Amino acid sequence: MNNFNKKKKLIYRKFFIGYCSFFCIPFFFLSFSLLQGAGWKPIISGIPLYVTIFIGLTYQFIKELRALAREERGEPEPPPKKNYWEQD
């Protein structure tokens, strides 16, 4: 059990650093644009990019936690999905 707790702790630490870095990006651009006198417009135009990155980061976090929980329960990994062109 201790091994799974270590892995979970490492996953939380990795994503804590990732989320902190993610939230620093808009603040960096905001501070730079305010110093230049541009206001909030550069931040507002970048919202779709920030939302996309946030969704991707959250998706990966959930995916890794679910994989760890599956490994902890002793379940096998799901088989890889075949693409459209591969035959059964």
Domain ranges of the chain: 2-72
- Is the pLDDT at 88 greater than 80? The verdict is no
Residues 6+ apart with CB under 8 A from 40: 30, 33
Write out pLDDT tens, residues 44-84. Answer: 888 999 999 999 999 999 999 998 988 888 888 777 788 87
Residues 6+ apart with CB under 8 A from 15: 57, 61
pTM recorded for the entire structure: 0.75
Let me know: does 78 contact 54? Beta carbons within 8 Å. no
- Compute the distance between CA of residue 45 and CA of residue 28 in angstroms, rounded to an integer: 15
Mean pLDDT for the stretch of residues 6-34: 91
